[in-house]
Amino acid sequence: MGVRTWIDSWPVYRQLKGTDPLGRGAAAKSGPSERLAPRVATADRVVKSVCPYCAVGCGQNVYVQDGRVTQIEGDPDSPISRGRLCPKGSASLQLTTGSAREHQVLYRRPHGADWERLDLGTAMDMIADRVIEARRAGWQWEVDETRTRRTLGVASLGGATLDNEENYLIKKLFTAMGAVQIENQARV
Amino acid sequence: MAECHPVGFQWVMEAKARGAKVIHVDPRFTRTSAMADVHVPLRAGSDIAFLGGIINHVLRTGAYFREYVAAYTNGPVILREDFRDTEDLDGVFSGLDPEGRGYDPATWQYQGVDVQAASGQRDPQFDRRDASAPDVSDAAHGESHGSGGATIPEGRPESDETMTHPRCVFQVLKRHYARYTPEMVERICGVPQDVFRQVCDMVTENSGRDRTTALAYAVGWTQHTVGVQYIRAASVLQSLLGNIGRPGGGILALRGHASIQGSTDIPTLFNLLPGYIPMPYAHRDQRLDTFVRADAAPKGYWGNMRAYLVSLLKAYWGDAATAENDFCFDYLPRLTGSHSTYETVMAQLDGTCKGYFLMGENPAVGSGNAKLQRLGMAALDWLVVRDFSLIESATWWKDGPEIETGELRTEDIGTEVFFLPAAAHTEKDGSFTNTQRLLQWHHQAVRPPGEARSDLWFTFHLGRIIREKLAASTDPMDRPLLDLTWDYPTSGELAEPDAEAVLAEINGRDADGNPLSGYDQLADDGSTSCGCWIYCGVHAEGVNQADRRRPGGEQDWVAAEWGWAWPANRRVLYNRASADPEGRPWSERKALVWWDAERGEWTGHDVPDFQKGKAPGHRPPEGASGPEALSGTDPFIMQDDGKAWLYVPSGLTDGPLPTHYEPQDSPFPNLLYGRQRNPVRHLLRPPHPDNRYQPSGGEPGSEVFPYVATTYRLTEHHTAGGMSRWQPYLAELQPEFFCEVSPELAAERGLEHTGWATIVSARAVIEARVLVTDRMPSLTVHGRRLHQVGLPYHWGPNGYSTGDAANELLHLSLDPNTHIQEAKALAVDIRPGRRPRGPAAPELVRRYRRRAGIDEETGTAM
Between the alpha carbon of residue A87 and those of residues A126, B210, B451, B805, the distances in Å are: 40, 37, 29, 22
Tell me B65's DSSP state: -
CB contact B560 to A (< 8 Å): no
CA–CA separation, B205 and A120 (whole Å): 62
**Chain B residue with minimum CA distance to A68:** B446
Measuring CA to CA, which residue among B407, B414, B389, B348 is closest to residue A112?
Answer: B414
Phi and psi at residue A65, to the nearest 5°: -135, 130
According to DSSP, the β-strands at B779-781 and B601-604 are: unpaired
Between the alpha carbon of residue A120 and those of residues A156, B486, B490, the distances in Å are: 20, 21, 18
Which residue(s) pair with A94 in the sheet? none
Nearest Cα of chain A lies from the Cα of B294 at a distance, in angstroms, of 17
Question: Please, which residues have CB within 8 angstroms of residue B110's CB and are 6 or more apart in sequence?
Answer: B74, B77, B78, B79, B80, B157, B158, B649
CA–CA separation, B578 and B587 (whole Å): 9
> A153 and A121, same structural domain?
no
Contact B581, B616 (CB under 8 A): yes
CA–CA separation, B326 and B296 (whole Å): 17
CA–CA separation, B23 and B215 (whole Å): 10
B341-428+451-473 belongs to CATH 3.30.110.30: no
CB contact A106 to B (< 8 Å): yes
Between the alpha carbon of residue B79 and those of residues B42, B129, B165, B235, B833, the distances in Å are: 34, 19, 10, 20, 57
CB contact A62 to B (< 8 Å): yes
CA–CA separation, B464 and B469 (whole Å): 9
Question: Please, which residues have CB within 8 angstroms of residue B327's CB and are 6 or more apart in sequence?
Answer: B288, B310, B313, B314, B317, B321, B526
CA–CA separation, B640 and A116 (whole Å): 57
CA–CA separation, B717 and B801 (whole Å): 10
DSSP secondary structure of B395-425: HHHHHSHHHHHTSS-GGG---EEEEEEBPPG
Question: What dihedral angle (degrees, nearest 10) is formed by the CA atoms of B15, B21, B27, B31?
Answer: 40
Contact B501, B287 (CB under 8 A): no
> A56 and A13, same structural domain?
no
Q: How far apart are the first and last CA of chain B?
A: 36
> How many Cβ atoms sit within 10 Å of the Cβ of residue B861?
12
- pLDDT attached to residue B26: 98
Q: Which of B270, B356, B425 to mutate to test the interface with A (most CBs of A within 10 A)?
A: B425
Mean pLDDT of A166-175: 98
> A143 and A173, same structural domain?
yes
CA–CA separation, B837 and B403 (whole Å): 11
Three-class DSSP category at B789: strand
Range of the domain at A129: 103-134
Q: pLDDT tens digits for A11-42?
A: 888 888 888 888 888 888 888 888 888 889 99
Mean pLDDT of A139-146: 97
Q: Is A134–B381 a contact, with Cβ atoms under 8 angstroms apart?
A: yes
> A49 and A17, same structural domain?
no
Residues of B whose CB is below 8 A from A126: 418
Phi and psi at residue B490, to the nearest 5°: -120, 160
Assigned CATH class of B682-851: mainly beta
- pLDDT attached to residue B154: 58
> A154 and A116, same structural domain?
no
CA–CA separation, B213 and B193 (whole Å): 22
At residue A92, what is the residue type?
A: S
Mean pLDDT of A138-157: 97
CA–CA separation, B715 and B693 (whole Å): 32
Contact B423, B496 (CB under 8 A): no
At residue B834, what is the residue type?
A: R
CB contact A143 to B (< 8 Å): yes
Q: Is A89–B7 a contact, with Cβ atoms under 8 angstroms apart?
A: yes
DSSP secondary structure of B830-853: EEESPPP-TTHHHHHHHHHHHHTT
According to DSSP, the β-strands at B416-421 and B430-433 are: unpaired
Residues of B whose CB is below 8 A from A169: 455-456, 459-460, 463, 497, 502
Nearest Cβ partner for B718 among A53, A107, A146 = A53
- pLDDT attached to residue B130: 64
Residue spans of chain B under pLDDT 50: 133-135, 137-152
- pLDDT attached to residue A17: 84
Nearest Cα of chain B lies from the Cα of A142 at a distance, in angstroms, of 9
- pLDDT attached to residue B291: 96
**Chain B residue with minimum CA distance to A84:** B7
Q: How many helices (H) does chain A have, and how many strands (E)?
A: 7, 8
- pLDDT attached to residue B113: 83
Burial state string for B18-45 with b = 16 or more CB within 10 A and e = fewer than 16:
eebebbbbbbbbbebbebbeebbbbbbb
Residues of A whose CB is below 8 A from B356: 154-157
Residue A6, class by beta-carbon neighbours within 10 Å (0-12 exposed, 13-18 middle, 19+ buried)? exposed
**Chain A residue with minimum CA distance to B442:** A49
Q: How far, rounded to the nearest angstrom, does the alpha carbon of residue B219 sit from its chain's CA centroid?
A: 7
Residues of B whose CB is below 8 A from A93: none
> A51 and A88, same structural domain?
yes
Contact B702, B852 (CB under 8 A): yes
CA–CA separation, B713 and A86 (whole Å): 14
CA–CA separation, B827 and B341 (whole Å): 24
> A90 and A129, same structural domain?
no
CA–CA separation, B424 and B452 (whole Å): 9
Tally of domains within chain A: 4
Which residue(s) pair with A60 in the sheet? A49, A74
CA angle A145/A147/A149 to nearest 5° reads: 135
Q: Is B258–A101 a contact, with Cβ atoms under 8 angstroms apart?
A: no
Nearest Cβ partner for B274 among A106, A149, A171 = A171
Residues of B whose CB is below 8 A from A183: 268-270, 340-341, 344
- Please report, for chain B, the start and end positions of each structural domain, with discontinuous segments joined by +: 341-428+451-473, 682-851
- pLDDT attached to residue A166: 98
B:819-838 residues touching chain A, CB 8 A cutoff: 819-821
CB contact B367 to A (< 8 Å): yes
Nearest Cβ partner for B137 among A139, A144, A176 = A144
- pLDDT attached to residue B153: 53
CB contact B426 to A (< 8 Å): yes
CA–CA separation, A46 and A58 (whole Å): 16
Q: pLDDT tens digits for B754-808?
A: 999 999 999 999 999 999 999 999 999 999 999 999 999 999 999 999 999 999 9
**Chain A residue with minimum CA distance to B411:** A111
pTM metric for this prediction:
0.95
Three-class DSSP category at B222: helix
Q: Is A55–B258 a contact, with Cβ atoms under 8 angstroms apart?
A: yes
Burial state string for B427-462 with b = 16 or more CB within 10 A and e = fewer than 16:
bbbbbbbbbbbbbbbbbbbbebbebbbbbbbbbbbb
- pLDDT attached to residue B148: 29
Contact A132, B473 (CB under 8 A): no
DSSP secondary structure of B158-170: PB-TTS-STTBHH
At residue B485, what is the residue type?
A: T
According to DSSP, the β-strands at B23-25 and B38-40 are: parallel
Q: Is A168–B363 a contact, with Cβ atoms under 8 angstroms apart?
A: no
Measuring CA to CA, which residue among B307, B364, B312, B227 is closest to residue B821?
Answer: B227
ipTM score? 0.96
Q: Is A169–B502 a contact, with Cβ atoms under 8 angstroms apart?
A: yes
Residue A78: which CATH number?
2.20.25.90
> A181 and A150, same structural domain?
yes
Question: Please, which residues have CB within 8 angstroms of residue B737's CB and are 6 or more apart in sequence?
Answer: B768, B769, B792, B794, B795, B802, B803, B804, B806
Q: Is B466–A131 a contact, with Cβ atoms under 8 angstroms apart?
A: yes
